[in-house]
Structure 1
């Protein structure tokens, strides 16, 4: 029988992942860092989201009562409510989602429910921001736990990106506030942000001729960018940028890393001039854990097995795998497999466990034997969902995520450009 994620967390070595995440997350929401469950080996910055306050009654409530309240509130709110659940959410929350998907699939899915006045996003902060940007003014977006942030998104903050942009534009001899095309009709540099970033950085891209990408359309977005610029500044995930550009034929020597804590990002001016893709020093703590050694072990223990990983994994891991793709691509890869197939997956454990349960006639397992889930995603607990739904029934809207118009408008420009960049 497949163990639940909570059960597996409690079995992990203490020096790898903190097993305390298996308890209720409310005890850790006000603490510094990303809390129990995150990899002990990954230093990450402080989260930008403010912790929510879950009433004590919900902290102490039995699971059966929490689920009863969720079902009752959903029934009472009817079509006025839509619940969005990310692929990486725990199963006890996902079961109530009206839509299950990745961050952008869910933001778009909410648009198909125009009668919904309340959009409850069971994901993390940047996802709820995107949903608010794309939703109508009369709709409200709610994040059940405001402490559910994203370590990768926090690795590229607005001040650091603005400072980097000024340095980069100075090297290229252009006004950072008014970058103009050269004689070839191309910009010297164009910003590209991954969906896993704040609304402020999406707005930054919108103001500077840039665009947003997802893990499923990153190549199409880079093609769009290269048609308009000689090079791109890609943030916050270095691995998605490197893996995508490498697959497009960009040499590694033309992809310098930009470290925001060092002058010129730790590069020479010549390296920046010769660059094609400037990669921000950011990463996903979950996907960075996967290794080539894990792939080799999987193939040794399961001869003939297939390996698919997320493109947020380090380049050697992607190169060693049989395939790489977004969360949705991973799901489709498994769905296209045959009974009896053995598939090792390099992505978040909640999705892997769900795929294993959905296809019991084949062997599906996580590459990493030490289970470190996305600890911030895991902060959405049934207690928070029950609380916010009860509040909505009472006519109150806690934990509402609102993006100001001065940020939402340019961010929507960058998102619209992404929408138009449909993979061939």
Structure 2
């Protein structure tokens, strides 16, 4: 009779068969390494193609403007989904933030009061979503889509009601809003500007990066950027964050340990709405200084895509938002010619991924990646520019490609989207 032998034990303190624990700060080190690799790649591409706007201070500043509202929406999605609630309604909450932020900034003459109003409006939308999904167990997708449709119509109604007799405003837009303070580090541009203009490989690009990150930045931009490390500290470095994430992973186990599951779900979804509302305020006061109907442009959905790209982590979603913001900035500043250069970079990335897939013995994925890379190389060397229509949608296309490549490594919270009810003893 054969016997099944089970081997257990440890090797250097690590259970056999278990993945060794990663050192503290490993995720930050990986993010910094990836960022450095991207900067080196873009710098080399700039030198090879002569497209200076690939990494200049203007592109960096424009990237931040496009990336911040997406990052805030992604952070909102992160808070909700880490507590197990899918928040498709981010788009509607951003719309509320754009309208209330612009209205109160204009009516009071104070953009900070507009920020407060926009955040509170987004939180109200989050509260509505929480009541529907947590208390009444409405399907998360249905509730979110309903909020998006409802808020779009409600904000138009409010515009007709409020701006009917206001010069320069109407059913689809508000008057101009007062701006936030603009912050700049003194002497940085004067000191590093000449170095940026010399076009030295990597050195000039680092100078452009520092100038773009420290010059002519809105105060709200700085506040929004600080939300990313703050979210990490709260959700991954506090007892409250551990309990909230446990609700999204296994609410039954969390409840058995005395965690207030309903309360934490409410808190997470309300905070989610507040962050989306802040993103809306950014669009109406910083990006354009006016509320316009439809100005969110689907950024709530794009924020969710960035969150998925980032594997439900703050650093990853920041990278995803930056990817959207960068490609959007390039197509705005340089059109099809600037985006065309990225075909070469994308082709090289796909070929590198194909080699990596071969090492993992995934021959089908490797063949597909290699074929796509070769086709992109042929496209790059046989054309000079991308069609304007294609360049406009380049951020969406790029993100879909990246999501498809990263899909095998994604791990959503185990309990996300689950309709949960407290056990009754």
Q: TM-score range with shorter-chain normalisation?
A: under 0.3
Structure with more of its chain in strand, by fraction: 1
Structure with more of its chain in helix, by fraction: 2
TM score, norm. by length of structure 2: 0.22
Give the structure with higher Rg (CA). Answer: 2
